[in-house]
Amino acid sequence: MQFIDLKTQYALLKPEIDARIQSVLEAQAFIQGPEVRELEAALADFSGARRVVTCANGTDALQLALMALGVGPGDAVFVPSFTYTATAEVILLLGARPVFVDSDPDTFNIDFESAEAAIVRTRDGGVLRPAALLTVDLFGLPVDYDRARALADRHGLAFISDAAQGFGASFKGRRVGSGMADVTTTSFFPAKPLGCYGDGGAVFTDDDRIADAIRSICLHGKGHEKYDVVRVGVNSRLDTLQAAVLLPKLAVFGDELEKRHAVAQRYTARLKDHVATPQAAEGDDRFAWAQYTVKVPDRDGVQARLKAAGVPSNVYYPRPMHLQPAYIEYGGGEGSLPVAEGLSHLVLSLPMHPYLSVAEIDMVSDAFLSAINPNA
């Protein structure tokens, strides 16, 4: 069994993907070929964003967003500690400082009370300028965009959404990326719900000024002409071959999201009476289900027993950012963010992809229930 099954997806899309790749090979337009702009238009249509700019990877997408917003030395960016390092590292690379905040124990996403307290504390400290709120749609669950928007507006912050795991999700009927944040970023890493066959990323915004700045920055600060350099930039372009792979995948992405939802529903039906399962979607909310993550005591023991039964699983993430060696000086130390610290010892992600059969879901569920009750 595969934790994420890309082979089945490729087998289903092989004619379209192979034809797209062959077209790029024949045209020899490997950098900024027409498929890149075609993909950006398709992503805008899918998400409802006014502007989409693709880039080399999801980490670059975050850095490009921060750069376009002018975040730099002396600025504070408020970010959940329970996330992947990419969310925090780009802040430091630009000379700004991450201020880590706690997580909600049920959604795994940012705790807004913890975030507001950190913003007030930072502002009153007078050393750093509160500049941006950077939320994360962890495991594919969209953050409460209304609360995030209100919090950012109340304190005069830019609002950036890291939707590396959340692209495809909806909040109150609006797709992630459709202008609910000032800037939304995503990743097309192969394991993401919409993944390419290498690295790739994109930035979504309804602000033309921000979009134009990001496009310039990712092309070495290019102006209207090739050698017209109007700002300091970076080299962050989505390869045409990756755009060619993503176009057929995007065409079936909506259907795959529905299949992910069905997988999650069956998992929850089997497991909800035994462990803490992911919070259920309500109303017009829709998850992307990048991961199906449960909370279990004796997590490491359960994972070992699953492995022995031939069932793969993963831990996202075994240590929150504020306790990582690279970030320890920027956090409050052990005990400062108790929910994030607690989650890191409880979370376990089960196999999740659109092509899991009912039999496979039940096999995973049976193995999991045996693993949490080894003496039953």
Residue 283 has pLDDT above 80, yes or no: no
pLDDT for position 226: 83
302 Cβ partners below 8 Å, 6+ apart? 296, 348, 368, 371, 372
Q: Please compute, for residue 74, the number of CA atoms within 13 A of its CA located in the half-sphere on the CB side.
A: 3
Reported as type and span, the H/E element at residue 95 is none
Q: Which tokens sit at 25?
A: 């090979």
Confidence of residue 280 (pLDDT cuts 50, 70, 90): confident
pLDDT for position 221: 96
Q: Average pLDDT, whole number, for the chain?
A: 97
pTM of the entire structure? 0.97
Residue 199 near residue 57, CB atoms below 8 Å: yes
Reported as type and span, the H/E element at residue 303 is helix 299-308
Closest CA to 291 of 301, 277, 270: 277
DSSP string, 249-263: HHHTHHHHHHHHHHH
**Tens-digit pLDDT profile for residues 311-357:** 999 999 999 999 999 999 999 999 999 999 999 999 999 999 999 99
Q: In terms of C-beta density within 10 A (0-12 exposed, 13-18 middle, 19 or more buried), how is residue 282 classed? A: exposed
Torsion of CA 145, 147, 150, 151, to 10 degrees: -110
Confidence of residue 282 (pLDDT cuts 50, 70, 90): confident
Residues 139-156 have a mean pLDDT of: 98
Confidence of residue 139 (pLDDT cuts 50, 70, 90): very high
d(CA 137, CA 15): 33
Q: What is the CB neighbour count within 10 angstroms for residue 83?
A: 26
Residue 281 has pLDDT above 90, yes or no: no
DSSP string, 106-175: TT-SB-HHHHHHHHHHHHHH-SSEEEEEEEE-GGGPPP-HHHHHHHHHHTT-EEEEE-TTTTT-EETTEE
pLDDT for position 7: 97
Comparison of pLDDT for 375 and 198, the residue scoring more: 198
